[in-house]
Homo-oligomer: A and B are copies of this chain.
Amino acid sequence: VPEPHAAPQIAVVIPAGGGGTRLWPRSRQATPKQFLDVVSERTMLQETTDRVRSLVPPERLYVITNARHAGAVRGQLPAVPALNIVGEPEGRDSAPAIGLMAAILEKTLGPDAVMATLPADHVIPSDAHFRAILTASALVAADGYLVTLGIPPTGPDTGFGYIQSGETLRETTDAGVPVYAVQQFREKPQREVAEQYLKDGGYFWNAGMFIASVKTLRDLYKTHLPQMEAGFAQIVAAYGTDEFDAVMRGVFPTLEKVSVDYAIAEKADRVAVIPADIGWNDVGSWQRLAEVLATEGHETENTVIGHHVGVDTHGALIYSPKRLIATIGLDDIIVIDTPDAILICPKSRSEDVKKIVDELKARGRQELL
């Protein structure tokens, strides 16, 4: 990889379209987790923009979200221009959303801008290191690479896709980490396969964060998803006009529903992965959030947000900002209290929250979803 000429202009695109039932009862259809203050007093969306504030001015922050949440995004990010917040009339998976944003950025910032896609519902404690990696990634992206951030796995997790790294493209960067070519993207594996990945080494979790120049992305879409181009052109032509919402409603739902990983990243030739040891956590369950909130080395203590009295209670995650939760003789229990619903389950069962959500759907309890 040759050294680049100058620091490229970075724009951040934040996909914020998650449905968010995994942190039920806090997350609901109307307020998925990215719009909640589950980790700090800022919402996860706000934390995502806070994290890059020193690198990227609000004018170059873009959000694509479900149209019904666009108002919430504007409310949470008042410094971001309203035009930068794009509402999808319906979810069509990630490829149409990312491709459309690349097409819009081509119009607003030009093809040389580097677009960093950073999901709104992740936690990244090591934010200074993350920014250094982002800056280094932008330089690699400016050379025509689609750069993915690879999370060093902390266990054989079966809930994530994996990235297998190949040859070393650069021994080190300003962030102090190397750049590898991607040998292969791997789907969410079975347990034994994941264990083999960890044994073999050279595998990373795919956190869905990737960085590429607008030109690179546009070329990839024209090559691999050419059928979307006419739709993008119609929408971009209306961008900034009063017709935009109507055109989105007419055109966006006709775009192929497919993921950017499958349709673009896996098919690109020049794909790099940069190891990102940044404490990343997708907060994909209450158990995962408990990992974020627990004080390191004190995992058997109770994590309490709100009010709790415990007798023989250890390793609990308690969220109850209003009412007192009293527990006796319960280890590793999760209690989440909200105005209309309370979840109680052992940490080991927190993935099964979706079964509760399914049951509520089956019972037609729409007001609780």
Binding site for B on A (CB under 8 A): 25, 309, 311-312, 320, 322-330, 333, 335, 337, 339-346, 348-350, 352-353, 355-356, 359-360, 363, 365, 368
Do the beta carbons of A323 and B342 come within 8 Å of each other? yes
Q: Could you say which residues of chain B place their CB within 8 Å of the CB of A340?
A: 322-324
Q: Could you say which residues of chain B place their CB within 8 Å of the CB of A365?
A: 324
Inter-chain CA distance A356–B353, complex, in Å, is 28
Inter-chain CA distance A24–B365, complex, in Å, is 30
Most buried by B among A329, A339, A363: A329
Do the beta carbons of A341 and B356 come within 8 Å of each other? no
Inter-chain CA distance A184–B349, complex, in Å, is 53
Q: Could you say which residues of chain B place their CB within 8 Å of the CB of A322?
A: 340
Interface of A is mostly: strand
Most buried by B among A322, A324, A329, A349: A324
Looking at the assembled complex, report how far the CB atom of A117 sits from the nearest CB atom of chain B, in whole angstroms: 34
Do the beta carbons of B349 and A329 come within 8 Å of each other? yes
Do the beta carbons of B328 and A355 come within 8 Å of each other? yes
Do the beta carbons of B324 and A341 come within 8 Å of each other? yes
Do the beta carbons of B344 and A323 come within 8 Å of each other? no
Q: Could you say which residues of chain B place their CB within 8 Å of the CB of A360?
A: 309, 324
Do the beta carbons of A328 and B342 come within 8 Å of each other? no
Name the 4 nearest CB pairs between A and B, nearest first: A328-B345, A329-B349, A324-B341, A328-B349
Inter-chain CA distance A311–B360, complex, in Å, is 11
Do the beta carbons of A324 and B368 come within 8 Å of each other? yes
Q: Could you say which residues of chain B place their CB within 8 Å of the CB of A311?
A: 349, 352, 355-356, 359
Looking at the assembled complex, report how far the CB atom of A156 sits from the nearest CB atom of chain B, in whole angstroms: 22
Do the beta carbons of B342 and A326 come within 8 Å of each other? yes
Q: Pick the contact of A346 from B25, B330, B353, B363 — CB < 8 Å? A: B330
Do the beta carbons of A342 and B342 come within 8 Å of each other? yes
Query: Could you give 7 example pairs across A and B, Cβ below 8 Å?
Result: A25-B326, A323-B340, A325-B342, A326-B343, A328-B349, A328-B355, A329-B349
Most buried by B among A309, A322, A348: A309
Do the beta carbons of B356 and A329 come within 8 Å of each other? no
Q: Could you say which residues of chain B place their CB within 8 Å of the CB of A355?
A: 311, 328
Inter-chain CA distance A325–B368, complex, in Å, is 11
Do the beta carbons of A335 and B329 come within 8 Å of each other? no
Do the beta carbons of A352 and B328 come within 8 Å of each other? yes
A324-B368, A365-B324 as given contacts; A344 in contact with B356, CB under 8 Å = no
Looking at the assembled complex, report how far the CB atom of A354 sits from the nearest CB atom of chain B, in whole angstroms: 10
Inter-chain CA distance A339–B324, complex, in Å, is 9
Inter-chain CA distance A325–B327, complex, in Å, is 15
Inter-chain CA distance A339–B359, complex, in Å, is 25
Q: Could you say which residues of chain B place their CB within 8 Å of the CB of A349?
A: 311-312, 328-329
A309-B360, A365-B324, A368-B324 as given contacts; A329 in contact with B352, CB under 8 Å = yes
Inter-chain CA distance A346–B333, complex, in Å, is 12
Q: Could you say which residues of chain B place their CB within 8 Å of the CB of A333?
A: 344
In the complex, besides A330-B345, A342-B342, 19 extra interface pairs with C-beta distance below 8 angstroms are A309-B356, A311-B349, A311-B352, A311-B359, A312-B349, A320-B342, A323-B340, A323-B341, A324-B342, A324-B365, A324-B368, A325-B341, A326-B342, A326-B344, A326-B356, A327-B343, A328-B349, A328-B350, A344-B344
